[in-house]
Amino acid sequence: MENDYTEYKKIAHRVQEILVCTDFDAPVVYFFCPQGELNVISGQLKSYKMLSNNQVNFLMSLDSGGSYHLIVPQDVIIRFSENLDDVLNATVKIYGVQPVIQDNSAQLIITSDKQLVIN
């Protein structure tokens, strides 16, 4: 009999959402996001290219239509998979990152593994 981890995965995803807004360096730590602060963007990783500054530039197709360039430090992405081809076409959720326009493209720049979930 194979174990069913569906509920565990739901809990883990919710914890991930909460931790995005948690500042453990603050004198008082709150385990919630202020109303309207958590921005969640979801889609699929379609292609990638390595950047010279130890980052990976993924093309992310959004669930809502359109696309972003998702810029992820290599040390963050290898926590999900050491082989970048393994994450292609994976579902991804980005938490608490605002899009920026840089180099004439819309980009989501990841700075912490707490901002990213790959399934």
In a domain, 28, yes or no: no
Predicted local distance difference test score (pLDDT) of residue 38: 66
In a domain, 71, yes or no: yes
**Cβ contact 48:97 at 8 Å:** no
* Dist CA 119 CA 105 (whole Å): 25
In a domain, 82, yes or no: yes
* Dist CA 12 CA 15 (whole Å): 5
How many domains does the structure of the chain reveal?
Answer: 1
Predicted local distance difference test score (pLDDT) of residue 69: 95
0.85 exceeded by the pTM? no
Q: How open is the CA angle 91-50-83, to the nearest 5 degrees?
A: 55
The CATH number of whichever domain residue 114 belongs to comes to 2.40.50.140
Q: Which of 8, 6, 16, 4 is nearest to 42 (CA)?
A: 16
In a domain, 90, yes or no: yes
Q: Which domain holds residue 102?
A: 37-118
**Cβ contact 60:43 at 8 Å:** yes
* Dist CA 83 CA 99 (whole Å): 26
Tens of pLDDT, residue by residue over 5-18, are 888 877 877 777 66
Tens of pLDDT, residue by residue over 37-93, are 567 889 999 999 999 889 999 999 998 888 999 999 999 998 888 899 999 999 999
In a domain, 107, yes or no: yes
Predicted local distance difference test score (pLDDT) of residue 32: 66
* Dist CA 84 CA 78 (whole Å): 8
In a domain, 44, yes or no: yes
